[in-house]
Amino acid sequence: GNSVTQMEGPVTLSEEAFLTINCTYTATGYPSLFWYVQYPGEGLQLLLKATKADDKGSNKGFEATYRKETTSFHLEKGSVQVSDSAVYFCALSDRGNTPLVFGKGTRLSVIA
Protein backbone atom coordinates (compact mmCIF):
# COMPACT_ATOMS: atom_id res chain seq x y z
CA GLY A 1 0.00 0.00 0.00
CA ASN A 2 0.90 3.65 -0.07
CA SER A 3 3.17 4.99 2.61
CA VAL A 4 5.19 8.04 3.55
CA THR A 5 8.40 8.04 5.53
CA GLN A 6 9.72 11.18 7.17
CA MET A 7 12.89 11.83 9.06
CA GLU A 8 12.30 11.49 12.75
CA GLY A 9 12.46 14.51 14.96
CA PRO A 10 12.64 16.49 16.92
CA VAL A 11 14.76 18.87 14.91
CA THR A 12 16.18 21.84 16.78
CA LEU A 13 17.73 24.70 14.85
CA SER A 14 18.95 28.18 15.56
CA GLU A 15 17.18 31.08 13.92
CA GLU A 16 18.34 31.70 10.32
CA ALA A 17 19.66 28.15 9.95
CA PHE A 18 18.93 26.06 6.85
CA LEU A 19 16.20 23.48 7.18
CA THR A 20 15.77 20.16 5.42
CA ILE A 21 13.13 17.62 6.39
CA ASN A 22 13.40 14.45 4.35
CA CYS A 23 10.35 12.71 2.99
CA THR A 24 10.17 9.64 0.78
CA TYR A 25 7.12 7.82 -0.42
CA THR A 26 5.86 4.54 -1.80
CA ALA A 27 2.87 4.66 -4.09
CA THR A 28 1.35 3.14 -7.18
CA GLY A 29 0.72 5.40 -10.09
CA TYR A 30 1.36 9.12 -9.90
CA PRO A 31 0.53 10.52 -6.48
CA SER A 32 0.13 14.12 -5.50
CA LEU A 33 2.44 15.16 -2.68
CA PHE A 34 1.81 17.61 0.12
CA TRP A 35 3.39 19.21 3.15
CA TYR A 36 1.08 20.19 5.98
CA VAL A 37 2.07 22.16 9.06
CA GLN A 38 0.53 21.99 12.51
CA TYR A 39 1.34 24.80 14.92
CA PRO A 40 0.97 24.09 18.64
CA GLY A 41 -2.65 23.59 19.60
CA GLU A 42 -3.90 24.21 16.09
CA GLY A 43 -5.20 22.29 13.12
CA LEU A 44 -3.49 21.15 9.94
CA GLN A 45 -2.64 23.78 7.37
CA LEU A 46 -1.59 23.08 3.83
CA LEU A 47 1.91 24.44 3.36
CA LEU A 48 2.62 23.43 -0.23
CA LYS A 49 1.92 20.76 -2.79
CA ALA A 50 3.14 19.26 -6.05
CA THR A 51 1.07 17.17 -8.42
CA LYS A 52 3.58 15.79 -10.92
CA ALA A 53 7.22 14.91 -11.30
CA ASP A 54 9.67 17.84 -11.19
CA ASP A 55 6.98 20.20 -9.89
CA LYS A 56 8.21 22.50 -7.15
CA GLY A 57 5.81 23.61 -4.47
CA SER A 58 6.65 26.74 -2.53
CA ASN A 59 5.08 28.90 0.15
CA LYS A 60 6.31 31.19 2.94
CA GLY A 61 9.95 30.53 2.01
CA PHE A 62 9.50 26.75 2.11
CA GLU A 63 10.12 24.66 -0.99
CA ALA A 64 9.83 21.02 -1.99
CA THR A 65 10.46 19.36 -5.35
CA TYR A 66 8.66 16.23 -6.51
CA ARG A 67 11.43 13.78 -7.44
CA LYS A 68 10.00 10.69 -9.08
CA GLU A 69 13.38 9.06 -9.63
CA THR A 70 14.15 9.11 -5.91
CA THR A 71 10.49 9.03 -4.76
CA SER A 72 11.20 12.00 -2.55
CA PHE A 73 9.63 15.33 -1.60
CA HIS A 74 12.08 16.92 0.82
CA LEU A 75 11.07 20.16 2.52
CA GLU A 76 13.61 22.98 2.62
CA LYS A 77 13.84 26.52 3.89
CA GLY A 78 16.87 28.72 3.63
CA SER A 79 16.49 30.65 6.87
CA VAL A 80 14.12 29.48 9.58
CA GLN A 81 12.43 31.70 12.11
CA VAL A 82 11.17 31.04 15.62
CA SER A 83 7.64 31.27 14.23
CA ASP A 84 8.33 28.21 12.05
CA SER A 85 8.35 26.00 15.14
CA ALA A 86 5.68 23.40 14.47
CA VAL A 87 5.11 19.81 13.41
CA TYR A 88 5.48 19.19 9.69
CA PHE A 89 3.69 16.32 7.96
CA CYS A 90 4.48 14.96 4.54
CA ALA A 91 1.48 13.35 2.83
CA LEU A 92 0.37 11.82 -0.44
CA SER A 93 -2.83 11.16 -2.27
CA ASP A 94 -2.62 8.69 -5.11
CA ARG A 95 -5.62 9.72 -7.21
CA GLY A 96 -8.43 12.17 -7.37
CA ASN A 97 -10.14 12.53 -4.04
CA THR A 98 -8.61 9.60 -2.21
CA PRO A 99 -7.69 10.20 1.42
CA LEU A 100 -4.29 11.51 2.36
CA VAL A 101 -1.69 9.16 3.77
CA PHE A 102 0.50 10.96 6.27
CA GLY A 103 4.02 10.48 7.48
CA LYS A 104 4.67 10.37 11.21
CA GLY A 105 5.44 14.07 11.38
CA THR A 106 8.62 15.94 12.24
CA ARG A 107 8.67 18.39 15.12
CA LEU A 108 10.77 21.47 14.43
CA SER A 109 11.90 23.79 17.20
CA VAL A 110 13.67 27.01 16.25
CA ILE A 111 15.49 28.84 18.99
CA ALA A 112 16.49 32.48 18.96
Q: Is 56 in the site for another protein (CB under 8 A)?
A: no
3-state helix, strand, coil in the chain (%, to 5): 5, 50, 45
Question: From CA 72, how far away is CA 39, in angstroms rounded?
Answer: 24
- Which of 80, 101, 108, 110 touches another protein by CB under 8 A? 101
Site for another protein in 61-100 (CB under 8 A): 89, 93, 95-100
Binding-residue total with another protein (CB under 8 A): 26
Residue 60 sits in the site that holds another protein (CB under 8 A): no
Which of 25, 27, 47, 105 touches another protein by CB under 8 A?
Answer: 105
Other residues' Cβ atoms within 10 Å of the Cβ of residue 85: 17
